[in-house]
């Protein structure tokens, strides 16, 4: 039984990749460590349980990586996806540290696998967890437990006692072993963003947020982030933005994870509830097209859209969790989707009439395009004319939020006046906005988590001893 | 819709898994799944027999219970696997034995032991049954060698025929044309994969048993059991050759090949089954086909009893207990052979065939050897 009356050297709030890396690093540095995970044991780990890989720089091919991915190339990618919205010094520091993480994370029990299957072609840049993100988490938890890190589940923190930027104690919603206040010499906040907090999302998205589906657990409510910002920690990142992809509208409200996504947009057209197209389905290749559709659908009436395609491309993409809705005719399909049949027939007829001949190749920006259509489909445009016809209903699936706490290279939080906090550190999604101001690149969330988790744990342990 | 509800469930799970694929590095089941977009009954039975029940995909799955997607691949495939054994049984009339396997095997064993004891007693007066017999041919004072050879040859042949017919049904069910032989490379790959229990390792970290810690030692105990069984089989084979080619009759001296092989195998068959049963009782019920625990237990117990009675016979063969012990041992071995096609023994056969098929598929799909 954990003795909560004692003062811990390091208190880690959160239970995902960043939190566990921090806990392990702090423990290995000799600190006593308590981890408070707000979720039940099965749902531990926040978004980490749905991840699969991590993006780390490396100078040469390895057993699991097909080629080099230099620090410069990584940084260039980061600049491109964020449009420059990144703290250059922190970003370069993270990328340099990421090289070492490839081995360090294995020392913590995590296992890599070669990129095998047909999901993503990231064999050169990204390392894949054998068994996925939950397997990675399980390994980190086992290691943390073996090292003597104390871990509590269902341990929701409702308040933090902070004086002049100095953390003193955390208050628990439900007392554990009679204790409701936990003291520690240093705090690592690694409790994620607020993507599962619909009320908070509504502040920026209005009632539309009611129609959002949340890809992770309902426990990613951002309560620690909110408390920290209220206690004078400087914020970073656009509070109104979140990473959203188009996922199947039949997915559960929470925790549908990776398997509800759709990447079939390029093979057909996307229409809203009025059976009207609203964006160029052939604008760009993965990952851009993948990441924009959540926000595009969020802007449509009732936050719903339909990816419509025909039998000729039925097997051109990954098998999906939910089967496509099928109609022998376009009118029948429209009926099943409760769309106006005449409107859908007209949209498809106009699209088909605008398609110009070309050579289809979904791996490049090919020359199959429409002419005289608004909006156009600039690549991969082929006629939808082979029955039966299919559709996937899609809604915005919210993955993570960008708002966070500003940190320095020690992963130490900065207060609103610019001064570093005496003993508060942050790692993972809660501070991702420092590096990732917008956009996304596969596996970068895990890089941020592991790199800054390890730094935060190490620095928090050092801080606690001084 | 599939033939059974459990195959419907297996289909649902494979559809979930095929849109995720995070587990593809753990074992052969998921790469085999990825080669398909939809699943026939035969495909699902193939996956079920390819699964080694290591439990890793359950522990690693973000959608396992209590998640609403309720993904439990090990248990679902375990039930489908046991169902498939019954479906392939030959003759079909005996398929029902799988449902009450523990009871049937206990009864058959008890009956055959009793038959040998009664037989010995009926053939001879009690002086011979409880007499002390030593030297070459001692066993055959109780039962003539030719009678013993004919009886066991018959039951062994029956088991082999029944198993071949089962494999034929399995091969046909999983969609391989009859007469289609596996290439040597695929066979060799499967022999290696089966020999080292490559997929009974949780994807490299070890199997999962009572919780999410890979502390399970079934692989070790299975090695004891399997290689113990092979050594015992080798012992019997060598003894047969001795008898017919060299005219050397059992019992043999302790240093002779049949006794050495049999003793080493016997130790394996004592340690292995005890370990397997101990590990089995620790397993999280959520991972296993609880209704079929009797089948697993019955087969493991039969192997253990075979070894126990054999070892007792070896140690006490120069005493008056030899006669009853010989009857006991022969009774158990007879029952073991007779029930082989109708119990857990078949798991090894079907799993091996599934591994051959997997190795072949990998080659055909251009993945090269599965070990790459």
- Give the tokens for residue A411: 């992963």
Q: Which residue of B has its CA nearest to A120?
A: B21
Taking an 8 Å cut-off on Cβ atoms, the answer to whether A132 and B15 are in contact is: no
Chosen from B28, B34, B60, B371 to mutate, greatest number of chain A CBs within 10 A: B60
Which of A204-213, A244-253, B173-182, B330-339 has the lowest average pLDDT? B173-182
> Residue A213 pLDDT more than 80?
yes
- State the pLDDT at residue B179: 59
- Residues A4-57 have pLDDT tens digits of 999 999 999 999 999 999 999 999 999 999 999 999 999 999 999 999 999 999
- Residues B48-66 have pLDDT tens digits of 999 999 999 999 999 999 9
Q: Measured between alpha carbons, how far is B144 from B137 in angstroms, rounded to an integer?
A: 9
Kindly state whether B180 is in contact with chain A, defined as any CB-CB distance less than 8 angstroms.
Answer: no
Q: Measured between alpha carbons, how far is B163 from A318 in angstroms, rounded to an integer?
A: 39
Nearest CA among B7, B19, B14, B71 for reference residue B45 = B7
Residue A239 C-alpha from the chain's centroid: 15
Neighboring chain B residues of A139 at a CB cutoff of 8 Å: 205
Q: Measured between alpha carbons, how far is A73 from B157 in angstroms, rounded to an integer?
A: 67
Mean residue pLDDT of chain B comes to 91
- Residues A283-315 have pLDDT tens digits of 987 666 677 899 999 999 999 999 999 999 999
Do residues B42 and A341 touch, judged by C-beta distance below 8 A? no
- State the pLDDT at residue B52: 96
- Average pLDDT, integer, range A322-331: 98
Nearest CA among A186, A160, A235, A181 for reference residue A422 = A186
pLDDT more than 90, % of chain A: 88
Kindly state whether A62 is in contact with chain B, defined as any CB-CB distance less than 8 angstroms.
Answer: no
Nearest CA among B196, B215, B201 for reference residue B283 = B215
- Give the tokens for residue B184: 């040597």
Cα A457–A239–A193 angle (5° rounding)?
40
Taking an 8 Å cut-off on Cβ atoms, the answer to whether B20 and A257 are in contact is: yes
Taking an 8 Å cut-off on Cβ atoms, the answer to whether A116 and B31 are in contact is: yes
Using CB atoms, which residue from B19, B56, B63 is nearest to A320?
B19
- State the pLDDT at residue A227: 98
- Residues A92-111 have pLDDT tens digits of 999 999 999 999 999 999 99
Q: Measured between alpha carbons, how far is A65 from A277 in angstroms, rounded to an integer?
A: 40
**Angstroms from A111 CA to nearest CA on chain B:** 9
Q: Which residue of A has its CA nearest to B68?
A: A252
- State the pLDDT at residue B75: 97
- Residues B8-44 have pLDDT tens digits of 999 999 999 999 999 999 999 999 999 999 999 999 9
Question: Between A and B, how many residue pairs show a Cβ–Cβ distance under 8 A?
Answer: 81
Kindly state whether A318 is in contact with chain B, defined as any CB-CB distance less than 8 angstroms.
Answer: yes
> Residue A123 pLDDT more than 90?
no
Q: Measured between alpha carbons, how far is B15 from A320 in angstroms, rounded to an integer?
A: 7
- State the pLDDT at residue B123: 81
- Residues B87-123 have pLDDT tens digits of 999 999 999 999 888 888 888 988 898 888 888 888 8
- State the pLDDT at residue B279: 94
- Residues A261-286 have pLDDT tens digits of 998 999 999 999 999 999 999 998 76
Give the model's confidence band at A76: pLDDT under 50 very low, under 70 low, under 90 confident, else very high. Answer: very high
Kindly state whether B31 is in contact with chain A, defined as any CB-CB distance less than 8 angstroms.
Answer: yes
Cβ neighbours of residue A19 closer than 8 Å, sequence gap 6 or more? A12, A13, A35, A37, A188, A190, A191, A427, A428, A453
Q: How many CB atoms lie within 10 A of CB B181?
A: 10
């Amino acid at each position: 039984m954990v003795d909560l009356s004692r003062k811990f050297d390091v208190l880690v709030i959160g239970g995902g990749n960043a939190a566990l890396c921090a806990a392990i690093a702090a423990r290995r540095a000799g600190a006593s460590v308590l981890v408070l995970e707000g979720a039940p044991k099965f749902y531990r780990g926040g978004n980490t349980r749905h991840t699969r890989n991590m993006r780390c720089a490396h100078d040469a091919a390895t057993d699991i990586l097909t080629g080099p991915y230099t620090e410069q190339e990584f940084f260039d990618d980061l600049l491109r996806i964020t449009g420059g919205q990144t703290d250059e010094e922190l970003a370069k520091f993270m990328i340099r540290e990421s090289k070492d993480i490839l081995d360090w994370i294995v020392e913590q029990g995590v296992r890599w696998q070669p990129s095998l299957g047909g999901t993503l072609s990231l064999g050169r840049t990204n390392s894949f967890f054998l068994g996925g993100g939950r397997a990675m988490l399980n390994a980190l938890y086992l290691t943390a437990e073996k090292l003597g890190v104390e871990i509590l589940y269902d341990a929701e923190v409702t308040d933090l006692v902070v004086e002049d930027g100095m953390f003193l104690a955390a208050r628990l919603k439900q007392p554990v072993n009679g204790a409701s206040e936990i003291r520690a010499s240093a705090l690592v906040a690694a409790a994620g963003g607020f993507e599962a907090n619909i009320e908070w999302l509504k502040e920026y998205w209005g009632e539309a947020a009611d129609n959002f589906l949340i890809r992770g657990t309902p426990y990613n409510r951002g309560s620690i982030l909110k408390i920290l910002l209220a206690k004078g920690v400087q914020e970073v990142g656009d509070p109104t933005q979140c990473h959203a992809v188009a996922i199947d509208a039949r997915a559960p409200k929470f925790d549908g994870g990776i398997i509800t996504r759709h990447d079939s947009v390029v093979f057909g057209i996307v229409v809203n509830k009025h059976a009207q197209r609203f964006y160029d389905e052939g604008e760009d290749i993965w990952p851009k097209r993948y990441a924009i559709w959540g926000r595009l659908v969020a802007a449509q009436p009732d936050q719903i859209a339909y990816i419509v395609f025909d039998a000729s491309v039925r097997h051109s993409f990954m098998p999906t969790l939910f089967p496509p809705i099928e109609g022998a005719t376009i009118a029948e399909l429209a009926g099943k989707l409760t769309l106006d049949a005449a409107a859908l027939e007209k949209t498809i007829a106009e699209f088909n009439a605008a398609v110009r001949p070309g050579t289809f190749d979904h791996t490049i920006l090919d020359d199959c395009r429409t002419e005289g259509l608004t909006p156009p489909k600039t690549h991969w445009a082929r006629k939808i004319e082979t029955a039966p016809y299919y559709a996937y209903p899609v809604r915005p699936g919210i993955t993570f939020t960008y708002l966070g706490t500003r940190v320095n290279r020690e992963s130490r939080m900065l207060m609103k006046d610019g001064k570093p906090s005496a003993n508060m550190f942050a790692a993972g999604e809660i501070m991702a906005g420092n590096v990732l101001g917008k956009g996304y690149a596969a596996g970068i969330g895990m890089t941020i988590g592991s790199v800054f988790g390890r730094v935060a744990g190490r620095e928090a342990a050092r801080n606690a001893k001084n | 819709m599939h033939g059974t509800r459990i195959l419907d469930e297996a289909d649902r799970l494979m559809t979930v898994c095929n849109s995720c694929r995070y587990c593809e590095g753990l074992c052969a089941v998921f790469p085999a799944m990825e080669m398909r977009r939809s699943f026939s009954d035969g495909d699902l039975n193939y996956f079920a027999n390819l699964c080694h029940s290591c439990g890793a995909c359950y522990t690693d799955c973000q959608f396992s219970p209590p998640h609403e997607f309720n993904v439990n691949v090990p248990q679902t495939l375990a039930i489908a696997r046991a169902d498939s054994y019954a479906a392939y049984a030959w003759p079909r009339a005996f398929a029902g034995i799988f449902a009450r396997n523990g009871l049937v095997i206990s009864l058959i064993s008890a009956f055959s032991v009793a038959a040998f004891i009664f037989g010995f007693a009926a053939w001879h007066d009690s002086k011979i049954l409880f007499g002390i017999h030593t030297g070459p041919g001692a066993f055959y004072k109780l039962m003539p060698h030719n009678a013993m050879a004919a009886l066991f040859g018959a039951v062994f042949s029956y088991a082999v025929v029944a198993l071949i017919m089962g494999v034929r049904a399995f091969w046909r069910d999983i969609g391989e044309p009859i007469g289609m032989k596996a290439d040597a490379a695929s066979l060799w790959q499967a022999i290696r994969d089966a020999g080292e229990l490559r997929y009974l390792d949780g994807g490299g970290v070890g199997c999962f048993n009572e919780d999410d810690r890979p502390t399970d030692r079934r692989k070790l105990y299975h090695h004891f059991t399997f290689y113990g069984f092979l050594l015992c089989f080798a012992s019997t084979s060598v003894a047969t050759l001795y008898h017919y080619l060299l005219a050397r009759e059992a019992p043999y001296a302790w240093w002779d090949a049949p006794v050495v092989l049999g003793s080493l195998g016997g130790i394996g068959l004592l340690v292995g089954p005890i370990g397997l049963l101990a590990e089995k009782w620790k397993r999280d019920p959520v991972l296993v086909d609880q209704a079929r625990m009797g089948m697993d237990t019955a087969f493991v117990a039969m192997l253990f009893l075979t070894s126990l009675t054999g070892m007792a016979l070896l140690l006490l063969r120069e005493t008056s207990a030899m006669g009853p012990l010989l009857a006991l041992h022969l009774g158990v071995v007879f029952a073991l052979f007779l029930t082989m096609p109708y119990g857990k023994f078949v798991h090894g056969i079907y799993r091996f065939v599934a591994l051959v098929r997997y190795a072949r598929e990998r080659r055909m799909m251009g993945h090269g050897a599965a070990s790459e």
